[in-house]
Amino acid sequence: MLAIERAPLLPTATGTPCVQDPDLWFSSAAADQARAVRLCGACPLRGPCALGARERRERYGVWGGETSSDRGGAGQQREGDRRGR
């Protein structure tokens, strides 16, 4: 799902860590979010990914190594959003 939704924004996202385990990036567990943030740290798309999430005002998930709180959003993780990536 991530590759399909991100393809227009990040054409090379198919090889990124979040594609391997997309649920981790939308987990409500702090430990999972911290792990996703760490994994984003090694992603070559981190900068544009974070910028894109801020521009789109993404309310949920870890994008570019930033949580919704990092982006200044009040978004809470929802189970239904976990598969939206």
A 10 A CB-CB count for 10 gives 17
The size of the interface with ligand SF4 (CB under 6 A), counted in residues, is 15
Q: Measure the CA–CA gap between 38 and 6, rounded to whole angstroms.
A: 20
Shortest CB 23 distance to ligand SF4, Å = 13
Nearest 5°: phi and psi at 82? -65, -25
Q: What would the two tokens of residue 10 be?
A: 């990040």
- The torsion angles phi and psi of 39, rounded to 5 degrees, stand at -65, -35
In whole angstroms, the minimum distance from the beta carbon of 71 to ligand SF4 comes to: 12
Among residues 27, 40, 60, 68, the one that binds ligand SF4 under rule CB under 6 A: 40
Q: Quote the least distance from Cβ 40 to ligand SF4, whole Å.
A: 3
Instruction: Note the residues at the interface with ligand SF4 (CB under 6 A).
Output: 10, 13, 16-18, 25, 39-40, 43, 45-46, 49, 63-65
